[in-house]
Amino acid sequence: MAAGFFISKTVGVVAIVLAVGAVATIIALSVVYAQEKNKGTSDVGTNTTVSPTTTTPAPNNPWNRWRLPTTLKPESYKVFLQPFLTPDANNMYIFKGNSSVVFVCEEATNLILIHSNKLNYTMQGSFHATLQAEDGGAVPDISRTWLETTTQYLVVQLSSPLQQGRRYQLFSSFTGELADDLAGFYRSEYTDESGTRQVVATTQMQAADARKAFPCFDEPAMKANFTVTMIHPTNYEAISNMPVKNTRQQIIDGVTWSVTEFNTTPRMSTYLLAFIVSQFDHRDTNSSGTLIRIWGRPKAIEEGQGDYALNVTGPILKFFEGHYNTAYPLPKSDQVGLPDFNAGAMENWGLVTYRENSLLFDDNFSSISNKERVVTVIAHELAHQWFGNLVTLRWWNDLWLNEGFASYVEYLGADSAEPDWNIKDLMVLNELHDVMATDALASSHPLSFREEEINTPAQISEVFDSIAYSKGASVLRMLSSFLSEDIFKEGLQSYLHTFAYDNTVYTDLWVHLQEAVQKNNVTLPTSISNIMDRWTLQMGFPVVTVNTLDGTISQKHFLLDPTSSVDRPSDFNYVWIVPITWMTGNNQGSGNYWLTEVSDTNNSFTINSTWLLLNLNVTGYFRVNYNQENWDQLLNQLGTDQTVIPVINRAQIIDDAFNLARAKYINVTLALNTTLFLSREREYMPWQAALTNLKYFQQMFDRSELFGDMSRYIRNQVTPLFEYYKIITNNWQNRPSGLMAQYNEINAISTACSYGVTECQQLAANYLQQWQNTSINPVPPNLRSAIYCSMVATGGESAWDFIWQKFQNASVVSEADKLRTALSCSPHPWILNRYLQYTLDPTKIRRQDATSTINSIASNVVGQPLAWDFIRGNWRTLFSQYGGGSFSFSRLILSVTQRFSSEFELQELEQFKKDNEDIGFGSGTRALEQALERTRANINWVTENQAAVMQWFKDHSS
């Protein structure tokens, strides 16, 4: 998932259903549906269902444990579902269905536990389900069934044990709500061009919500074959993981329905199952025998918004077939853009689902970053079709390998589709530098958890964080770099071939990589397992310090707040085995070196006439500090000819220096000195590293007197970049060539406008006037995010109302996103407070966009205290509306607290934690601890550095 992060008649009738098969099942369903219709109510909440509330048994019973017992193993499911796409008499959207699962008894037991959540069952006689033996023999009687709501089980207790080795079938009939909660089998809505509201029935099963669609053994290791049949209105189309086997018409309650049966899936996990009923259109193509289809709202497809995705999917699939040396496992690849979707995308096998902005692209509205988003997310999800879907991790504690791997190879896949972009370089900024900010906290966590640490759905959701995705990606990139990509691929291919259609633990990959290492006689200081355990089983990363005067080199666990205490013990005492690449100035030398102890001496690092640079292209996951003399040499090189230093390392020098200063390894003025050369720098990566780090200074000081001098300094530095792009784009009319150049043009405009370069703000005002006068948007798509923000920031209430109206009428989701974010740039508290209230109204702001809108408002210095008050005042509403498992709570907490740097704000945050302990913080639990730690660190940092920073900006702002 891309961060993106992805339910009777008599027993006699049921026996006939099970014996006769699919047609009989539909007939039985029609009988049930007729009965329900005559009653004028749905199954939901009616007396056909036993109440799920039970007397809580002793906690040591199997049904009080979150993990399934290993006594039963599913083999196959037959699932029939009928979503009703208009509300029933109770104004609820519902779906009805029945399912049967064939399972093997691995160990004699008189208990069947199967996951079920928010499903209401049609009773089979006195019980929720019926049981029969696959061989037609006798089966134990059911003595009791009930729903255990806390642990989300349907419990079937038997009068005598099931026999080891025999196969059984469990059947049930049920109803569920087709809610708009973005989880399980849910409802998405959009308004078509005629103004009619259209309903889509779609799914999001990851991590633990297949059980909301039908009863199932809902754990990744419980792989099975699935045969899905969808019953839907005849003017709708159904799609699922596999191609359609047949479609026929069936009259139910006097209404003609379409019955679409799909081919049976290969062995797969429940969280990868998907089915959608919609009136979407699609574009298709064929790539090496694989049918590729891009689905979306009819107008979006008609306008060609799916064409870019269609064009890149074939090349990316072909790339991964070569990378894995394994053919794409399924006959087709459907990709669907959904109006309402919680994550970025979800890798359902053969039916990948996306937020619209991660799949659809329109050249007339979408920016280069939208295009990059589409190609990287597609590559991420397609990478999973093998790594994650064909071979699946046994349990969620190893999620980092699944998501970290896809987050690494998405750059390789995207590079194969867009070879001119140099997109692989962006991984350093987007993943490595970004996640180091979190991983340098004492409240961080290791990549891999112990299996017993992750049990509940909320705990599983919490694992989907930047450590899993971005640190996982960075560490795997480092591994591939020191092995070489060819050796890495050889081990990877062996791993996939060995475990196809099965489950693994992360150490299985190490075994296959080790075999490739030995086969190719690669020299390493120790085994892959010994090296990588230090990066996966202990949190954080080292700062490597080298002294060029005597060649000494050492490592230490890097903490942003060196006074914080690390409570989590490590078997390796926070020492890593570090692969180091290096080069010197004047081409005096370069090489590779392993730091295996806390400290060492390397004579190659004794240099006095030039500079030494460690961690070339930042392939290693660590920071680098030098003695003052070497820092001076590097700064001198940047000041005379920065191009001698590789562009990624120019970004690294800035990012390392600012973070080392925050952690008190070097003086804050040294870090600021690394930005002096930027007035001559035209490359994106160093500028982006500087702006990211200066943003911390902005957050700490934009409410204080020194921000005036800081703003003047940044204006002075960015004006030459602004002028450069003004010239090469012919006064902003042409688009620069290349991904990085376009990104830096966006930086030039965004920074110039937000820091008050008059010409930039006037450009935005002129664009606004033109747009209002002609109704034709004159702003180039790449510049829209920055220009829209400036329009709202300087244009007052009328500009806000104009942009709001454009947002409401936007037909392209990437355009709507830019407008929605820009609306948070207003400097007026009353407008921002009104906007915050809009986030609670899904008719104004879609539920999937509510938290990101609050985050945008919080990033505005005027909006931040308003957003904090809003979160505190509405925490219970937000929590109940989105559920504790929502992926967005962690980002929400971190966003609204990012400026906290006073004792008073720390007290408020501690009080917020205390006030809401009873309801909890769901997936934001760890983020709250990180926010507290960051706030304490910010308080200390501001106290110690404010005077020096104020003087530096005063000295350099003239």
**What integer pLDDT is reported at residue 879 of this predicted model?**
79
Confidence of residue 886 (pLDDT cuts 50, 70, 90): low
pLDDT digits (tens, 9 = 90+) for 898-948: 999 999 999 999 999 999 888 888 778 888 998 998 899 899 999 999 999
**Predicted confidence (pLDDT) at residue 32 exceeds the cutoff of 90:** no
How far apart are alpha carbons 382 and 290 in whole angstroms? 13
Mean pLDDT of 245-264: 96
Per the structure block, which two tokens stand in for 242?
A: 């596999």
Mean pLDDT of 356-361: 93
Query: Greater confidence, 38 or 861?
Result: 861
Closest CA to 612 of 597, 642, 641, 632: 632
Mean pLDDT of 632-643: 97
**Predicted confidence (pLDDT) at residue 512 exceeds the cutoff of 70:** yes
**Predicted confidence (pLDDT) at residue 24 exceeds the cutoff of 50:** no
**What integer pLDDT is reported at residue 882 of this predicted model?**
66
Mean pLDDT of 699-711: 94
Confidence of residue 31 (pLDDT cuts 50, 70, 90): very low
Average pLDDT, the chain: 91
Q: Are 351 and 241 in contact (CB under 8 A)?
A: yes
Mean pLDDT of 204-211: 95
Q: Give Dmax over CA atoms of the chain in angstroms.
A: 92
User: Which residue in the list 148, 177, 381, 431 is annotated as catalytic?
Assistant: 381
**Predicted confidence (pLDDT) at residue 54 exceeds the cutoff of 60:** no
Closest CA to 339 of 320, 354, 328, 322: 354
**What integer pLDDT is reported at residue 883 of this predicted model?**
62
Sequential DSSP letters for 573-627: TT---EEEEEEEGGG--EEEEEE-SSEEE-GGG--SSS-EEESGGG-SSSEEEE-
How far apart are alpha carbons 524 and 542 in whole angstroms? 20
Q: Are 394 and 504 in contact (CB under 8 A)?
A: yes
Mean pLDDT of 536-564: 96
Q: Is 511 exposed, middle or buried (0-12, 13-18, 19+ CB in 10 A)?
A: middle
pLDDT digits (tens, 9 = 90+) for 290-336: 999 999 999 999 999 999 999 999 999 999 999 999 999 999 999 99
pLDDT digits (tens, 9 = 90+) for 140-186: 999 999 999 999 999 999 999 999 999 999 999 999 999 998 899 99
**What integer pLDDT is reported at residue 784 of this predicted model?**
94
Check if 261 is active-site.
no
Q: How many CA atoms lie within 13 A of 321 on its CB side?
A: 14
Mean pLDDT of 115-125: 96
**What integer pLDDT is reported at residue 814 of this predicted model?**
85
DSSP secondary structure letter of residue 190: E
Confidence of residue 60 (pLDDT cuts 50, 70, 90): confident
